[in-house]
């Protein structure tokens, strides 16, 4: 293996902040009570959850009563879609989403279709962006829910969330607007009330917090039916003993990120610009989606002529560089990307696309090292690769 390690798969998961590990370690070893217990240990744990709710409420500019904790972004998406659909089916059975959503949305809408709901899948343009007019045109009196991601996890497309939210409410004020912000939270300022967002999902392990904890924002007056049954924790919306250490860890990570978000975004965009400047000079390298501040700061998707993604992934790994051949959340089985198909990617590039995703822990040297590795590897791999 290489002497150097460059981790560029941060859209799949991130390295946990040391400060978060330290806090969680303390909770695991000292403040380990069940937050439902009435004794001091329980109160300690409950206070950690209250503190975490306040941190997220401050970031999202909402009330602590709007904040619920889950096990992951997928669970948050499932509660939002299934719970929202079941609670509002008397108003209608029409749901709108897009063709580039995460499997946590696409698989859930497949399930809802089996339950009798009608699903409309919106197209996107060549850069992966949803047209606001397309959303508005599809909203009907019986449309109960629209779900559109904030940031695409494969090509980094940024959706016009605020404009979409306004268009939905203009067309049908009763229609719920859900935003999967798993890739966007921690990389953008998101204010649900201002953006007409009724439901919002986020995940800890995308923002340097641990795996196994997520967040769901539910707006005031929004009807969502619980889909987990048990002890009635979190006002009955999400039963089950709370993951206190994970919740506190996610809150601390979010607080650290949002304390100086503008500077962190500036750094990520500089890394992206530097890397793209180097790699687009290589013959046969094509960028998917927009670049610059019109795109996500941390996601870079490259289609590379003449080299299969899996081959390049392992060649880079031999040099200590870790990247992804697509969404890590659709398992490690070969899978044609719905996003790449939706944006009209040529057929020969569907299995020749690599995602590089950065974090604030990456450096300019990381990006230069990776670019140099590509310059070295691609001619060799093209020489020996046979289709």
Q: Which residues are catalytic?
A: 329
Render the burial of 296-306: b for 16+ CB within 10 Å, e for the rest: bbbbbbbbbee
CA nearest neighbour of 295 among 272, 267, 279, 274: 272
Report the SS3 class of residue 184.
coil
Q: What span, in angstroms and rounded, lies between the C-alpha atoms of 314 and 319?
A: 9
Spatial separation of the C-alpha atoms in residues 309 and 312, rounded to whole Å: 5
| Backbone φ and ψ of 329, nearest 5° | -90, 5
Collapsed DSSP state (helix, strand, coil) of residue 349: helix
Structure tokens that stand for 160 in this block:
């016009």
Neighbours of 9 (CB within 10 A): 18
**Does residue 143 sit in helix, strand or coil?**
strand
Q: For residue 314, with 0-12 CB atoms within 10 Å meaning exposed, 13-18 middle and 19 or more buried, which class applies?
A: exposed
Please, which residues bridge with residue 163 across strands?
none
């Amino acid at each position: 293996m290489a002497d150097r390690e460059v981790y560029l798969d941060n859209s799949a998961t991130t390295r946990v902040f040391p400060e978060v590990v330290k806090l969680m370690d303390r909770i695991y070893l000292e403040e380990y009570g069940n937050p439902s217990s009435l004794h001091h240990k329980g109160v300690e744990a409950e206070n950690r959850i209250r503190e975490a709710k306040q941190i997220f409420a401050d970031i999202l500019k909402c009330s602590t009563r709007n904040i619920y904790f889950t096990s992951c972004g997928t669970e948050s998406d499932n509660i939002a879609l299934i719970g929202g659909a079941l609670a509002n089916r008397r108003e209608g059975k029409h749901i709108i989403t897009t063709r580039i959503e995460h499997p946590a949305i696409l698989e859930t809408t497949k399930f809802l279709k089996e339950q009798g709901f009608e699903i409309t899948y919106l197209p996107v343009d060549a850069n992966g962006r949803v047209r606001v007019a397309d959303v508005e045109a599809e909203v009907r009196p019986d449309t109960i829910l629209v779900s559109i991601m904030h940031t695409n996890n494969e090509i980094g497309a940024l959706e016009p969330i605020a404009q979409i939210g306004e268009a939905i409410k203009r067309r049908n004020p009763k229609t719920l607007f859900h935003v999967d912000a798993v890739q966007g939270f921690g990389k953008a300022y998101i204010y649900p009330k201002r953006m007409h967002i009724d439901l919002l999902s986020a995940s800890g392990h995308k923002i340097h917090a641990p795996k196994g904890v997520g967040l769901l924002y539910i707006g005031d007056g929004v009807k969502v039916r619980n889909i987990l049954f048990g002890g009635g924790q979190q006002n009955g919306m999400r039963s089950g003993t709370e993951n206190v250490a994970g919740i506190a860890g996610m809150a601390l990570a979010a607080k650290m990120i949002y304390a100086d978000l503008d500077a962190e975004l500036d750094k990520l965009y500089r890394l992206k610009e530097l890397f793209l400047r180097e790699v687009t000079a290589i013959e046969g390298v094509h960028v998917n989606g927009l670049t610059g501040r019109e795109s996500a700061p941390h996601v870079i998707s490259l289609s590379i002529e003449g080299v299969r993604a899996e081959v390049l992934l392992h060649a880079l790994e031999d040099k200590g560089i870790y990247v992804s051949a697509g969404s890590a959340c659709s398992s490690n089985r070969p899978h044609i990307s719905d996003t790449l198909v939706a944006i009209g990617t040529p057929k020969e590039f569907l299995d020749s696309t690599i995602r590089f995703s950065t974090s604030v822990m990456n450096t300019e040297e990381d990006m230069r090292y990776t670019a140099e590795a590509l310059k070295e590897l691609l001619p060799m791999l093209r020489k020996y690769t046979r289709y």
